[in-house]
């Protein structure tokens, strides 16, 4: 999906939040902001929002000399999620519909997104996971459950650190031998990389690959040949988070997007209000491009 004009003030705000997150130096914040404002003035709106976020974070990394500024935040939220895991796993085991509950928890974990909200706290995550158990999720869960049974090459696109620990609970409901999980190729924001998949122990369950890219989404033209082979061969893709939706919503593949709706642009596009826990299916016709 293309970047909308409404994305611009939000991306500029994200730039400032990210600059402040990675450094306390106000002069550096000013330089980064001016640099990104200049880049935004030349923006190709045909690009997706994650393509611009990729530019933002490349510049922040270059300006600070820090290749993984969210390293500590990722660890913190991985540990938090791991600490919550035994209790939630118990609830899933006891649930009438364990697949549905695992899916809900995986979507609730999508709240851990430093792109949208750089001030997310551990208590926000506890609250989101606690509430999801009694909340509905929009989407036909049975359809995904059936699709999982019917397809052979399932590719699961992870989104954020912390969240990926909750993804493990959904993975445990899938036919593991048919699943590959993909993470980002390089650090970008608090998105999950191979290290986080390993922290979650997912590499012991399924094959883990990375996509070769440092975009906070899946920009196919930026992904590695290895990833593209898995992507092309997959007959079912489960894609977590807005970044994957923004980059793949026009893709003619069989994709189930699982995400929390976090901004008005995505609310308008999907037809579900901000805050919705959503499962949205594309068809092979890439219908969401026309929404």
Window of 1-9, 128-136, 243-251, 262-270 that interacts with a copy of itself by CB under 8 A: 1-9
Secondary structure of residue 27 in the 3-state scheme = helix
Return phi, psi of residue 59, to 5°. -70, -40
Point out which residues pair with 181 in neighbouring strands: 156, 208
Residue from 21, 23, 43, 76 that binds a copy of itself (CB under 8 A)?
A: 43
State the Rg of the chain over Cα.
18
Number of residues counted as binding a copy of itself (CB under 8 A)? 21
| 55 Cα distance to chain centroid | 17
263 near a copy of itself, judged by CB under 8 A: no
Separation between Cα atoms, residue 201 and residue 206, nearest integer Å: 9
Q: Are 56 and 7 in contact (CB under 8 A)?
A: no
Judged by beta carbon, residue 20 or residue 207, the one nearer a copy of itself is: 20
Binder of a copy of itself out of 1, 40, 164, 237 (CB under 8 A): 40
Q: Does 175 bind a copy of itself (CB under 8 A)?
A: no
- Token pair of 34 as six digits: 């001016």
Answer yes or no whether residue 267 interacts with a copy of itself by CB under 8 A.
no
Nearer to a copy of itself, 38 or 136 (CB): 38
Query: Under the criterion CB under 8 A, does residue 5 sit at the interface with a copy of itself?
Result: yes
10 near a copy of itself, rule: CB under 8 A: yes
- Give the interface segment with a copy of itself, choosing from 25-33, 106-114, 140-148, 156-164 (CB under 8 A): 25-33
Output the smallest distance, CB 121 to a copy of itself, in A.
18
Q: Residue from 41, 72, 119, 149 that binds a copy of itself (CB under 8 A)?
A: 41
Rounded Cα distance between 163 and 1, Å, is 24
Give Cα 163 to chain centroid, integer Å.
Answer: 8
What does DSSP say about strands 255-260 and 277-281: parallel, antiparallel, or unpaired? antiparallel
Among 45, 124, 143, 284, binds a copy of itself (CB under 8 A): 45
């Amino acid at each position: 999906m293309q970047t909308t004009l409404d994305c611009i003030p939000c991306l500029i705000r994200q730039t400032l939040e990210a600059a402040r997150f990675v450094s306390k130096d106000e002069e550096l914040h000013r330089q980064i902001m001016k640099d990104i404002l200049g880049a935004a003035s030349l923006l190709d709106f045909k690009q997706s929002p994650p393509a611009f976020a990729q530019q933002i974070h490349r510049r922040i990394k270059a300006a600070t000399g820090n290749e993984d500024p969210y390293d500590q935040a990722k660890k913190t939220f991985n540990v938090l999620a791991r600490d919550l895991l035994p209790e939630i796993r118990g609830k899933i085991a006891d649930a009438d519909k364990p697949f549905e509950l695992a899916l809900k928890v995986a979507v609730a974990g999508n709240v851990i997104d430093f792109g949208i909200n750089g001030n997310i706290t551990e208590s926000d995550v506890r609250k989101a996971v606690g509430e999801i158990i009694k909340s509905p999720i929009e989407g036909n869960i049975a359809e995904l459950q059936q699709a999982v049974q019917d397809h052979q090459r399932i590719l699961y696109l992870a989104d954020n650190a912390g969240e990926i620990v909750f993804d493990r609970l959904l993975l445990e409901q899938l036919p593991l031998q048919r699943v590959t999980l993909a993470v980002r190729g390089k650090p970008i924001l608090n998105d999950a990389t191979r290290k986080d998949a390993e922290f979650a122990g997912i590499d012991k369950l399924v094959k883990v690959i990375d996509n070769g890219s440092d975009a906070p989404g899946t920009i196919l033209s930026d992904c590695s040949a290895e990833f593209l082979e898995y992507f092309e061969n997959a007959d079912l893709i489960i894609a977590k988070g807005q970044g994957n939706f923004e980059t793949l919503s026009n893709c003619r593949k069989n994709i189930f997007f699982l995400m929390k709706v976090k901004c008005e642009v995505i609310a308008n596009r999907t037809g579900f209000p901000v805050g919705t826990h959503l499962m949205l299916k594309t068809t092979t016709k890439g219908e969401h491009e026309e929404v």
